[in-house]
Amino acid sequence: MKIVKASFVAAAVALAVVGAGVPAQAHSGHYIYVYGGGYERGKAKFDGGWLTVCDTRVDGKRVRAHLKSYTGNIYYSGWAPSQACTTEGHPTSIVQFRVCAESYGCSSWHNRY
């Protein structure tokens, strides 16, 4: 009975961890993407202390990144120019990021490191 109960508790904990919204991994220098309407709308990457945000379409919808610090505060990057990229420096206190396109939403959160 104890083995069955322990297995049930372990399975419930495993399901809770999987469903907890754990951010996806993003390795430094690799882009993450946001899609909408069947197209890639934007992308972003961290490379060292530099964040690059790109708007990949000329559609009048702006693209920027949301940045989360280790304290949980949310900050925003500048808007990327239409069908171009912008690069800006950010401190090491930023631990997660996602890329967002107006009217289309955001990618999932990704770990910076």
Instruction: List the chain domain ranges.
Output: 23-111
Integer Cα distance of 74 and 70 in angstroms:
10
The sign one gets for the Cα dihedral 104, 69, 53, 43 is negative
| Whether the predicted pLDDT of 83 surpasses 50 | yes
Domain 23-111 has CATH 2.60.40: yes
Task: For residue 106, give every residue at least 6 positions away whose Cβ sits within 8 Å of its Cβ, in sequence order, or none.
Answer: 34, 66, 98, 99, 100
Q: Work out the pLDDT band at 5, boundaries 50, 70, 90.
A: very low
pTM given for the model:
0.76
Cα–Cα distance measured from residue 24 to residue 21, given in angstroms and rounded to the nearest whole number: 9
pLDDT at position 104: 97
